[in-house]
Structure 1
Amino acid sequence: MCKKIFIAATGQNCGKTTTSVSLLHLARKKYPRVGFIKPFGPKRMTYLGRSVDVDAALIAHVYDMEDRLELMSPVVLDAYTTRDFLENRKDPQVYLDKIVKAVETLEKECDFLIIEGAGHSGVGSVMGMNNAQLASWLEAPVLMVTGAGVGNVIDVVHLNLALFREFGTEVRMILPNKLVKNKRKKTLKYIEYAFEDTDIKVVGGFNYSPILADPTLKYLAELLELDLHGPKDQGSRIVHNVQLAAPATQRVVDLLQESSLVIVTSSRDEVLVMLSTLYHLPEYKKKIAGLIIVGVAPVADIVQRVIDDSDIPYIRTEATTAEVYTRIREDVAKIGVDDEEKIQLIQRLAESELDFDLIDSIF
């Protein structure tokens, strides 16, 4: 019989996909056949010639499941799906039938199946199949991933629990994630207090990790919808800091921190030349992740030659510094198919920070 776990969350960017990657990694050590499905995916990408959800593509790539990709991502939304659904009064049963059929097939093939929801419990309501409904229809008990903290976590969990209870869905576990290491024990203790009169178990997730939280150069280029210039192998480099090259050149250099992405106006020749030159030096290569060159003014020919000769990764845009900086700061990086360093770290941390036997026993 297949064991099913529905991975839900109190909101976006809590760590559902990180949790899925972790549990699948650990489950493969215990179960001979493991599987994954993202019933409906709000973020579409083309992978191996198919339109699939980004999380399904990631899992398929990491765990060599490409041959089951169609089952892993049965319904993928696009920018027009919800409007088309509402305008034409489509029957959600059309989508649900695809999802149920895919789950039934995977259940026959797997001993352990992760079903990953999308966003908070109410996501999908516009199409008549939110996460709470799906978990109920698929008869899958729920693991709810939350962010860190105490009061806010308890509040948002109760908010989401209301919808799960409305549809008779069993929430068995809360997994607070991105915990502050020196506050981990106290945080988990107080959340346990809040749910001690229920059947819901509280199990700690990952501690906060800058490597997991911060974006790669490739991710930022895709976010800005621009090309990343320079060596292709630098696309997976993780950006820990974003710095504005507003002060004098020497001050810009003095302020460099570990793996900084520096936003530089195209007319600041002296900063561009200085950073490109320093990139040749090992101690500065650690500090300079790359450049985003902004502004409508063209980069001087000789400066462009210095940049190209240095092999420093860079992104070029005519947008303003404020536009680029705001876009980056408002985004939260998701793990992508090419983020090998992050994926390997997740798998290592899963073995030390997650109690899989306890989680497995709860489900």
Structure 2
Amino acid sequence: MAKKIFISATSKDCGKTTISLSLLYHARKRYERIGFIKPIGPKPIDFLGRRIDTDPAMIAQVYGLEHLIDDMCPVVVEPGMTQEVIEGKIPVAEFGGRIMRAVERLDRECDFLIIEGAGHSGVGSVLGLSNARVAAMVGAPVMMVTSGGVGSSIDAVCMNLALYEKMGAEVRLLVANKLVPQKRDKTVHLLQLAFQDAEFEVIGGFNFQPVLAHPTLKHVAHILGIEVNGNSENLMRIVHHVQIGAAATQRVVDLLQDDTLLTVTSSRDELLVTLANLYCLPEFRPKIAGLVIPGVAPITRITQQILDKSGIPCLRTNKTTAQVFLAINEDVAKLTAEDVEKIGLIQKLARKRFDFDLIDRLFS
């Protein structure tokens, strides 16, 4: 029988998957057989010949759990599925059975099992399977993750607790995640005071790490639905700044920061040529991550030749500059197994940020 931990959150993008990666990193040093399941997967992809959520696919690759993949995401939510459920076109009675059977098999196969919910306590309610209900159904105590903050976190925790209590799920640990480094100790202390009479512990998780929140060039290409041309070795380079090249050429160059992705319209030949040439200089290579070139106007032949010769990573799209900028900045980069730098950082920080002895004891 496995030790089970149900990881939920107070809202989206609190860092549940980062926490899951960290706990599995610690657990594999102590337990012979580790496992992971995301009962309801809202972001399906094709992986090893099956449809599965992005998170279990990534976890399977990072920790070599491909042999468990058939049980790692029993309910996959395809686009349009929720509407069909509401309209009664898809029967949902079997979904709970799928989840229970998958958890039961993993319970036999694993010594330590992470069960990761999708979002806050109510997510999945359209299927009759909210996170709170699933946690109670599978008999897994809950680790709730909230974003760094005090007032807003307390409000969100109390609201989510109500549903867990109603469903009979036990919350044993609150993790305050994405903390502002300068306020870390004070924030955790205040949350511990606020919940001093609660039946769960409060600990701090990760500090906010921009490197974990920012996308790679490959992820930007995925967001925009296009391919990257140019230096393919830079596909996994992390973009820390997105700059719109609307100013004069020299001003754009003066504003460059490290790992900048520039959005430059196809009609700005002088700026495109300048950036292509600067990319070839060692002192500018760390600053220029690549170019997104929006617009319907064609790039002139000579400019395209210079871009191709320089090897600067380019993403060509018919979207407008505003559409590109919004798409990139509104996206929260999901981890993939290819994000080796990010995953390595998470595992390194996990050793510093998580007292696994305490967590292991709380969930015994």
- TM-score in same-fold range (> 0.5): yes
Post-superposition Cα deviations, 1:290-320, rounded to whole Å, max 9, x if no partner, equal: 1100111101111111111111111111111
Moved more, 38-47 or 321-330: 321-330
Q: 2:214 aligned with 1:214, yes or no? A: yes
Question: Given residue 181 of structure 2, which amino acid in structure 1 is its aligned partner?
Answer: K
- CA distance in 2 between partners of 1:121 and 1:127 (Å): 13
Counterparts of residues 264-275 of structure 1 (less than 5 Å): 264-275=264-275
Bigger shift: residues 85-94 or 122-131 = 85-94
**Residue in 1 aligned with 2:10?**
10
Q: Which residue of 2 aligns with 1:339?
A: 339
Q: Distance in 1 between matches of 2:164 and 2:206?
A: 24
Normalized against structure 2, the TM-score is what? 0.98
For 1:261, the equivalent position in structure 2 comes to: 261
Equivalent residue number for residue 20 of structure 2: 20
Residues 5-56 of structure 1: CA distance to partner in whole angstroms, max 9, x if unpaired? 0000011110000010110011001111110000010000011221110001
- 2:191 corresponds to 1:191: yes
Deviations 1:87-110 (A, max 9, x none): 226543301111111100101111
**Aligned-pair CA distance for 1:334:** 1.3
1:112 maps to a residue whose letter is F
Counterpart secondary structure, 2:204: coil
Q: Deviations over 1:143-202 (max 9, x none)?
A: 011111111111111111111111011001110111111111000000001100111101
Distance 1:319 1:213 in 2: 24
Q: What percent of counterpart residues are identical?
A: 54
Query: Match for residue 125 of structure 1?
Result: 125
What is the aligned partner in structure 1 of residue 251 from structure 2? Answer: 251
Q: Secondary structure at the match of 1:106?
A: helix
Q: Which runs of 4+ in 1 moved over 6 A?
A: none
Contact kept? 1:92, 1:129, Cα under 8 Å:
no
| Residues 1:138 and 1:280: Cα distance change in structure 2 (over 3 Å) | same
Aligned-partner residue type, residue 309 of structure 2? D
Q: Secondary structure of 1:265's partner? A: coil
| Root mean square deviation, CA, Å | 1.0
Specify the alignment match of 2:99 in structure 1.
Answer: 99
Quote the residue 2:358 is aligned against: 358
TM-score computed with the length of structure 1 as normaliser: 0.98
Q: Distance in 1 between matches of 2:120 and 2:283?
A: 43
Q: Give distance in 2, aligned partners of 1:211 and 1:95.
A: 37
Long gaps (5+) in structure 2:
none
Residue deviations 1:247-284 (CA, integer Å, cap 9, x gap): 11011000001100000010001111111111111221
Residue in 1 that maps onto 2:321: 321
Aligned residue in 2 for 1:311: 311
Q: Is structure 2 residue 59 aligned with structure 1 residue 51? A: no
Gaps of at least 5 residues in structure 1 are none
Q: Which amino acid in the other structure matches residue 360 of structure 1? A: D
Query: What is the aligned partner in structure 2 of residue 143 from structure 1?
Result: 143
Contact 1:267 1:299 in 2 (8 A): yes
Quote the residue 1:77 is aligned against: 77
User: Is 1:40 matched with 2:40?
Assistant: yes
Partners of 2:91 and 2:195 lie apart in 1 by 38
The one-letter code sitting in structure 2 at the alignment partner of 1:351 is R
